[in-house]
Amino acid sequence: MRVHHLNCGTMHTPGGRIVAHVLLVETADRLVLVDSGFGLADVREPGRRLGPFGRVLGAELDEAETAIRQVEALGFSASDVRDVVATHFDLDHIGGLSDFPHARVHVAAAEWQAAQHPTARERLRYRSPQWAHDPTVVTYTPDGEPWCGLPAARPLDGVDADLALVPVGGHTRGHVAVAVQTDAGRLLHAGDAYFHPSVLGRASAVSGEPRRTRRGLFFTGFEYLVAVDHGLMRAGHRTLAALPDDVTVFSAHDPNEFARLASAAPAR
Ligand SMILES: [Zn+2]
């Protein structure tokens, strides 16, 4: 099983450049995406698709960065992507769904509920035009086989790879990290469970940038600003910090973590 690390959405925020870290997992019979970044329709119609938050994030919106174009560059086609697993439904994570209209979307039940019934504040982050193609959505509660001792949704319905949805809450109502077991070890895509690795209280496995930098200060503040539950958010940091050293943890947006992981040979 091969895992590719893709950046599907460079953004230029006041705190500096960030990425939209997406995994492309090759299983025996299909491709599975973990998150999807921005999609072609976001590039073409950013105002309608992303609303004001797209401008706040400074999304570059380069067609070559979309998951569909990168899947094609690897020699696959859109129909090979049969499943997309979403850490959450924020606009910078699910814009690519509409480029794979036949793929099933796997998401925590609480997150799907939030996206369907957003509060006034949540309407800024959840952009229903991004799922107006009406995909098949498979929802989960964390009562499956545990992952690393944590409650999880596992296995995923009809996916022939060891993937798990691990609730790491606070950023949104149903935010999860996504665990992927590869032959080379365990990956944990932590989504937006943290923005700057310093909040984990240890050097992240793949990025050691200190907090007292412009980037560190901006993103620790930004994380508080956009979280729906600060207590759960901090509990999530502690959960991630306590994971065994052999778990490779990375967030959706840290460019240093992305650069390190993307430059390594694809994990099998
Ligand atoms: Zn995000």
SS (H, E, C) 52-79: HHHHHCCECCCHHHCHHHHHHHCCCCHH
pLDDT grade, residue 215 (50/70/90)? Answer: confident
Distance 42 CA to ligand 1 centre (A): 15
Residue appearing with tokens 């959706």: 252
Q: 191: CA distance to ligand 1 center in Å?
A: 7
**What's the 263 CA to ligand 1 centre distance in angstroms?**
22
Summarize pLDDT for 158-191 with one digit per residue, the tens.
998 999 999 998 999 999 999 999 988 999 999 9
Helix runs in 51-179, H state only: 52-56, 67-73, 109-116
The answer, yes or no, to whether residue 100 has pLDDT greater than 80, is yes
Cα of 198 to ligand 1 centre, how many Å?
17
Angstrom distance (rounded) from CA 178 to CA 166:
6
pLDDT single digits (tens) 1-45? 899 999 999 999 999 999 999 999 999 999 999 999 999 999 999
pLDDT at 208: 63
The pLDDT, as a whole number, for residue 203 is 47
Fold of 2-263: Metallo-beta-lactamase; Chain A (3.60.15)
**Domain range list for the chain:** 2-263
Tell me: pLDDT of 207 over 70.
no
**CA 90 to ligand 1 centroid distance, Å:** 6
pLDDT band for 267, please (50, 70, 90 cuts). low
Weakest mean pLDDT among 9-23, 81-95, 146-160, 254-268: 254-268
What's the whole-model pTM score?
0.95
- Interval between CA 179 and ligand 1 midpoint (Å): 17
CA of residue 87 to ligand 1 center, whole Å? 9
Select from 114, 217, 121, 130 the least CA-distant residue to 175: 114
> Span 223-235, mean pLDDT?
96
Q: Predicted confidence band at 206 (pLDDT cuts at 50, 70, 90)?
A: low
Q: What is the mean pLDDT of residues 204-218?
A: 71
